[in-house]
Amino acid sequence: MRGAWTTTRVRDAEDRLLRRVPSARLMRRAAYGVAVEAAVMLRAHTGGTSGRRVVLLVGAGNNGGDALWAGAFLRRRGVDVTALLLAPGRAHPEGLAALRRTGGRVVEVGDHDEVTAVAPRLAAADLAVDGIVGISASGPLRPVAAEVVSRLSCPVLAVDLPSGVDPDTGAVPGPAVRATATVTFGARKPLHLLGPGSEHVGELRVVDIGLGPELGEPDLRALDRHDVGLGWPVPGPADDKYTQGVVGVAAGSSVFPGAAVLATGAAVAATSGMVRYAGPAADAVRSTWPEVVVTGSVEDAGRVQAWAAGPGIGVGETGRRVLEQVLAAGLPTCLDADAITLLARHEELWDLHDPDTTWVLTPHEGEFTRLAGEVGTDRVDAVRRAARRFRCVVLLKGNTTVVADPDGHVLVNRSTSSWVSTAGSGDVLTGMIGALLASGAEPALAAAWAASAHELAGELAARGAPIGASALVPSVSEAIRVLRRSAGLLP
């Protein structure tokens, strides 16, 4: 599990640390970490450090200060260092003096002509260190910085974060550095784990600067495959089909039986408990998944420990009746697709929400907007607020899946591929979450585990070529196997 802290929290922690440790020492610790990583990269890419050419891209603040101090350390190893001051007159004075003392070159690059003048140096660089902007960043790279960055053809080491990426959301609103590696200090920031910005980070190294004791609980966490594999429920010696949890699936309609087949199949694959299907797509479900106990209505379904409801039930009267019956059961429930639209349209459905049972809502952006308003650029904040407001676990779908519980805890899952971005794949996710809820898994974890296994199932099914959602279902078992192997539970 990897935690991340917002920039506000990092600054607060830094303020507390600064009462004990002088700021110059802190910056030198940070810069030393950058210099060590720069030397590793130089050796990897050029076979050595002495005489290799490093350009420092230096902005107006402490992030530039880190780069300048790192440059001073590198000079002592014989590296040829040139600092390009992108905010001339505002570069960190002590860092600048340190670099000059060690014989580093300093060039002001404040406009287009000055960029042109340094073009040969940029083209010849073995490594660039991005100290343009750090946690005080706002907006994309400014035009001169963007032009400098666009002229680089060498590996780039980002200081704290790739400049141009929003630190708290991972948004990339315009030109941004694409780093080969990033050295961050004391704590990951949200951009290191989520959003398109996380793809700009490259290899991430967290350098200890003594911040740990001041940090407290992270603002968000990313589960690793290891965590998911460790938690995934499997049958034990004392288990039977009932003890592992029975999930009811209320999905699909006679016109759209596909959602029922996908959600039910995914529930069958996700755990070894029992699956009941209740609804008008009974024939299709029965003929595809003979192990499922099928009834025509929720009322007749029999006992279950959790429900997965919504995909394909429709948003008219029939769908609404189905949803009412599911919600009235007062059980942990995964609510997706039409169920979310119905909840957005009919406020009175919320009266069926017993505050002690957890609903897991799994909207895509459109459904989220219907329910809680625009997502905006800060997805974590939007999901956290919705979870608080509705007293539900909310899972927002997308390349980075964000899960929040009503107490403000956030789990994120950034996908390494996008194969599951295909029609019907949300129905598969619903079935998986339902099965995990029935097994007794903690609801936010159930949602995050399912997102991780779902994405992996997509990767395994696709093997490099597009797939439909039906192909995901048989890959769910293989995905769980891979996750359990990552946790050391399988050879």
Ligand X SMILES: NC(=O)C1=CN([C@@H]2O[C@H](COP(=O)(O)OP(=O)(O)OC[C@H]3O[C@@H](n4cnc5c(N)ncnc54)[C@H](O)[C@@H]3O)[C@@H](O)[C@H]2O)[C@@H](O)CC1
Ligand Y SMILES: Nc1ncnc2c1ncn2[C@@H]1O[C@H](COP(=O)(O)OP(=O)(O)O)[C@@H](O)[C@H]1O
Give the integer Cα–Cα distance in Å for 375 and 56.
37
- What's the burial of 94, exposed, middle or buried (CB within 10 Å: 0-12/13-18/19+)? middle
In the list ligand X, K ion, ligand Y, none, the entry touching 130 (Cβ below 5 to 8 angstroms by class) is K ion
- Angle at CA of residue 402, ends 400 and 404, nearest 5°: 170
- Residues numbered 374 to 403 that lie near ligand Y (CB under 6 A) are 397-399, 401
| 418 interacts with ligand Y by CB under 6 A | yes
Of ligand X, ligand Y, K ion, none, which one sits near residue 415, judging by CB under 5 to 8 A according to partner kind? ligand Y
Q: Which residues make beta-bridge pairs with 250?
A: 309
Q: With CB cut-offs between 5 and 8 Å by kind, which of ligand X, K ion, ligand Y, none does residue 136 bind?
A: ligand X
62 is in an annotated binding site: yes
| Site stretch for ligand Y (CB under 6 A), options 134-142, 201-209, 290-298, 426-434 | 426-434
Chosen from ligand X, K ion, ligand Y, none, partner binding at 24 (C-beta under 5 to 8 Å by type) = none
**How many Cα atoms occupy the beta-carbon half-sphere of 176 within 13 Å?**
28
Task: Please tell me whether residue 163 binds K ion under the rule CB under 5 A.
Answer: yes
Closest CB to ligand X among 136 and 150?
Answer: 136
- Report the C-alpha gap between 70 and 81 in whole angstroms: 10
Q: Which of 163, 425, 452, 475 binds ligand Y (CB under 6 A)?
A: 425
Residue 382 interacting partner from ligand Y, ligand X, K ion, none (CB closer than 5 to 8 Å by kind):
none
Q: Does 182 bind ligand Y (CB under 6 A)?
A: no
Min. distance of Cβ 164 from K ion in angstroms?
9
Residue 159 contacts K ion per CB under 5 A: yes
The first and second tokens of residue 140, run together, are 């994309």
**Which member of 33, 196, 424, 431 binds ligand Y (CB under 6 A)?**
424
Whether residue 130 is annotated as binding a ligand: the answer is: yes
Question: In Å, how far from its chain's centre is CA 89?
Answer: 38
Residue 185 partner contact from ligand Y, ligand X, K ion, none using kind-dependent CB cut-offs of 5 to 8 Å:
ligand X
Q: Least CB distance from residue 137 to ligand X, whole Å?
A: 4
In terms of CB distance, is 119 or 423 closer to ligand Y?
423
| CA-wise closest residue to 402 among 460, 476, 452 | 452
Give least dist CB 108 to ligand X, A.
15
Residue 26: name its binding partner from K ion, ligand Y, ligand X, none (Cβ under 5 to 8 Å by kind). ligand X
Task: Please list every residue from 425 through 464 that binds K ion, using CB under 5 A.
Answer: none
130 binds K ion (CB under 5 A): yes
CB of 405 to K ion, least distance (A): 32
Binding residues for (6S)-NADPHX: 62-66, 134-140, 160, 259, 312, 364, 427
Residue numbers at the binding site for ligand Y (CB under 6 A): 337, 364, 397-399, 401, 415, 418, 420-421, 423-427, 429, 454
Q: Which residues bind K ion (CB under 5 A)?
A: 130, 158-159, 163
Q: Which residues are documented as binding site for K(+)?
A: 63, 130, 163
Residue ranges for the binding site? 62-66, 130, 134-140, 160, 163, 259, 312, 364, 397-401, 426-427
